[in-house]
Structure 1
Amino acid sequence: MNRIIALVVVVVVAVLVASSSVFVVDPRHVAVISSSGGSSATLAGPGMHVKLPPPFQTATFIDTRVEAFDAPDADRYTTADKTELLVNPVIRYRIADPLKFFAATKGDPQTLADRLASLSRDALADAFSKVALSAALAQQEAIANDARDALRTAAAPLGIDVIDIELTRVDYPPELADAVYKRMSAAREQMAADERAQGAAEAQQIKDDAQRKQQDAVAQAYAEAQGIKGEGDGKAAAIAAQAYGHDPQFYQFYQSMQALRDSFKPGDVIVVDSSSDFFRFMRGPNGGENTPAPAAPRKH
């Protein structure tokens, strides 16, 4: 009977030792085998492996797939112009070096979460401190990329590869929202006023240019008209001089008639002495002068 009990005990102990010594790693994980003596840990990939039973050796399974870390609460970050914003980041990462990760965290998920939260806060705080409020709202992807690069460098000693950071929320704290919205509205109104002022200035400039071109065109046309008129007056004077040379009496008569026409208008009444020199051509075609008698024919 005692032999049977002893055999059962031996079998049970052997099963327990075997179950704690043999383990299987699936393709989604790797195992870090560490010893209680503090010797260097070793890495076991997918498949069946054997190790010493605890407490001599332990196997810590580490997930090597891409995972996401989402902070439970939004953190406050200050921009370059001293405005606070509430930000929620989602960090996508993978454990690229399981041995470094195990050395830094002993494979504890909570330690990993705490370290990622701390490092991401530092990276985001630095990224937001470089930009003003307007850029923080309009350039969130660029800010996230800047923070990702900084976090990737900081997390490398932990064996973690940071793939990207996505900002799921960038908002104002409740106590600042109203003041910020009023400031944004005032800024937009100022921009609109500046645009209207610029448009009015450009319109006035166009109007002034058009008026100047009009004045230049009128002045040029007037100068051309005066030139043509002067040329016409010169030709008229030449014709008049030529006519005067041909028949001085007729020219005087014509000039007198022109003067009479220009002096009288319909309805005008003028009392003038008929013997006045003004009416001398009314007394005869030669202006009242005696016509010389024709010379008598000479007798031969």
Structure 2
Amino acid sequence: MKLLRNLTLGVLALGFLAVSLVYFQVDTTEDAIVTQFGNPVRVITEPGLYAKLPDPVQSIVKISKQLQVYNLPRTEFLSGDKKNIVAEAYATWRVTDALAFLKNVRDVRGADTRLNDIIRSELGAALGQVDLGRLVTVDASQVRLPETLTAVKDRAAARTEPYGFTVTDVQLKELTFPEANLTSVFQRMRSEREAIARQFRSEGTEEAARIRAAADAEKAQILATANQEAAETRGRADADAIAIYARAFGKDKEFYQFSRTLESYGKFIDEGTTLILPSSSELLRYLDPRSSLSLPGTSEAAKAGTPKAATDAAKMEVQR
């Protein structure tokens, strides 16, 4: 019984080994190439379970169809205007022909070796045709970096196609200057930015002056219009006042003169005022004892019968 069990286990182990040597699985992310004594005899691009002759007669080489990334080390180039620049780039690629890939580059390391030469040469040639100011600029309408990288990608893809893979994208990770040139470059950039700032300040000052001039002109116009309207209003008011005075004067001339004279007294005479006027002044008309409209208190001076006495009495009355 024990012998039978061991025999069964041995048969199963041999069967499993035979199956593993004969059958193999292909995943959706890869292609498989069946080689016989090192020579490719069959290419499998569809996923599934397949059979082959056991090793060492036939072997399997699997090649990934997934997107791969190659990083180009920092490399110094010359721009179109002969400026030294340092670029660090990366490229993405994928296998398009598994058989050609196996024959020409064998594996990912071989593809990276090919890409190093191709990307370096194509990137240097492309950057050498564009001025630095068109590679790095704040003016979006002047920048040519995207189209330059697109051209690099297209030319690199054309060169790698015979090797069984293609470049799908090329981008820059860094674009800078050599360490020896950084100080002078930063100084030049600082000077350019200061010149731009001065220009902006000058334009701002000019614009502010223009705005202030326009505001002052508008202010003067508003004040002139207001003064004109005020003058017209005062003129109409004065005309109305004159018309009222004229109507009042026309109704009772003597009373109007008397009222206006009293108003005049109230404007220029107060408790501390001493007023000396000739006896013939119109202001003393109602203070003259000889007048029928003389103020109270002048009758005694009139009885004195002398002009001097009447004048003194008028002065005394005004001082009161």
- TM norm structure 2: 0.57
User: How does 1:236-247 map onto structure 2 within 5 Å?
Assistant: 236-247=241-252
Partner of 1:215: 220
Deviation at 1:254, TM superposition (A): 4.9
Aligned to 1:120: 119
How many residue pairs get matched? 257
1:190 aligns with 2:195: yes
> Counterpart amino acid of 1:229?
R
3-state secondary structure, aligned to 2:70: strand
Q: Which residue of 2 aligns with 1:75?
A: 75
CA-CA distance at 1:132 after TM superposition = 3.9
Rounded Cα–Cα distance in structure 1 between residues aligned with 2:245 and 2:24: 127
Q: Within 5 Å, which residues of 2 pair with 1:21-100? A: 27=26, 28=30, 30-31=32-33, 43-45=42-44, 49=52, 63-66=63-66, 67-71=68-72, 73-79=73-79, 82-100=82-100
Structure 1 residue aligned with 2:297: none
8 Å CA contact 1:92, 1:165 repeated in 2 = yes
> Aligned-pair distance for 1:258?
6.1
Measured on the aligned residues, the alpha-carbon RMSD in Å equals 4.9
Assess if the C-alpha contact under 8 Å between 1:80 and 1:133 holds in 2.
no
Contact 2:153-2:169 within 8 A present in 1 as well: yes
Between the aligned partners of 2:63 and 2:230, the Cα distance in structure 1 is: 97
Cα 1:62/1:77, change in 2 over 3 Å: farther
The alpha-carbon deviation at position 173 of structure 1 amounts to 0.8
- C-alpha displacement of 1:101: 4.2
CA distance in 1, matches of 2:183, 2:25: 54
Q: Larger deviation: 256-265 or 232-241?
A: 256-265
Percentage of identical aligned residues = 22
- Alignment CA distance shift 1:285-1:200 (3 Å): farther
Change (3 A) 1:227 1:276: closer
Aligned counterparts of 2:34 and 2:205: Cα–Cα separation in 1: 74
Equivalent position SS for 1:169: strand
Structure 1 residue 158 corresponds to structure 2 residue 163:
yes
Matched to 2:160, the amino acid is: A
What does 1:261-276 align with in structure 2 at a 5 Å threshold?
Answer: 272-276=277-281
* Range 212-221 or range 269-278, more displaced: 269-278
Counterparts of 1:150 and 1:265, CA distance in 2 = 109
Match of 1:249 in 2: 254
Partner of 1:231: 236
In structure 2, do the counterparts of structure 1 residues 113 and 221 end up closer, same or farther at CA, with 3 Å as the change threshold?
same
The letter for the 1-side match of 2:92 is: R
Query: How far apart are the structure 1 equivalents of 2:159 and 2:270?
Result: 107
Q: What 5-or-longer segments of structure 1 have no aligned partner?
A: 1-21, 36-40, 288-300
TM-score of the pair, normalised by structure 1: 0.60
Report the CA distance between 1:197 and its aligned residue. Answer: 4.1
Question: 5+ unaligned residues in a row in structure 2: which ranges?
Answer: 1-20, 295-320
Q: CA deviation at 1:29?
A: 5.3
Within 2, Cα distance between the matches of 1:26 and 1:172?
51
Contact map agreement 2:31 2:64 (CA 8 A) in 1: yes
The alpha-carbon distance between structure 1 residues 25 and 69, as it changes in their structure 2 partners (threshold 3 A), is farther
